[in-house]
Amino acid sequence: MKEQDLCCEEACVHPEHIEAAKSHMPDEDSLFSLAELFKVFSDSTRIRIMCALADEELCVCDIADLLGVSQSAISHQLRLLRASHLVRTRREGKSVFYSLDDHHVHSILREGLDHIGHTSKGREENENV
């Protein structure tokens, strides 16, 4: 049989814990949106773009030059960032300037850096993924 895998069909599950956990779970839509948001943060090119924009706006070719990535690749990534409301644009003549669109970008990056700072300190033991 194979309905829901039926692992630990009796004793092991803790129904009261499951109910408690269920009660404070965000709704499905939020969970999906959350994953989508962090997906945007999950590529180092996009992270580098956001870091580059941390202090001031830059045009597309500035970013491409700064990161050593092709204009096309940058443009594709900027599109994703914009779709997630993480950057905004301002046109000035032929150039388009991008800047961060949300204070959460800073907070999220900071929390992330904080985490990797902590984990890299004294816990190199289980790097064997």
**Cα separations in angstroms, 81 against 18, 19, 38:** 36, 36, 11
- Residue 76 interacting with a copy of itself (CB under 8 A): no
How far apart are CB 75 and a copy of itself at their closest, in Å? 10
Site for DNA in 100-129 (CB under 7 A): none
Both tokens assigned to 68: 């050593």
- Residue 71 interacting with DNA (CB under 7 A): yes
Q: 36 CB contacts (<8 Å, ≥6 apart)?
A: 84
Q: Which does 76 bind (CB under 5 to 8 A by kind): a copy of itself, DNA, none?
A: DNA
Q: Tell me how far apart the alpha carbons of residues 56 and 108 are, in angstroms, rounded to a whole number.
A: 18
Q: Tell me how far apart the alpha carbons of residues 126 and 32 are, in angstroms, rounded to a whole number.
A: 29
Q: Which does 91 bind (CB under 5 to 8 A by kind): a copy of itself, DNA, none?
A: DNA
- Residue 89 interacting with a copy of itself (CB under 8 A): no
- Residue 77 interacting with a copy of itself (CB under 8 A): no
- Secondary structure (3-state) at 59: strand
Task: Write down the H helix ranges in the chain.
Answer: 15-23, 28-40, 44-52, 60-67, 71-83, 103-122
Choices 15-23, 26-34, 67-75, 111-119; region in contact with DNA by CB under 7 A: 67-75
Q: Write out the residues near DNA by the rule CB under 7 A.
A: 2, 7-12, 39, 42-43, 45, 59-61, 64, 69-73, 75-80, 89, 91, 93-96
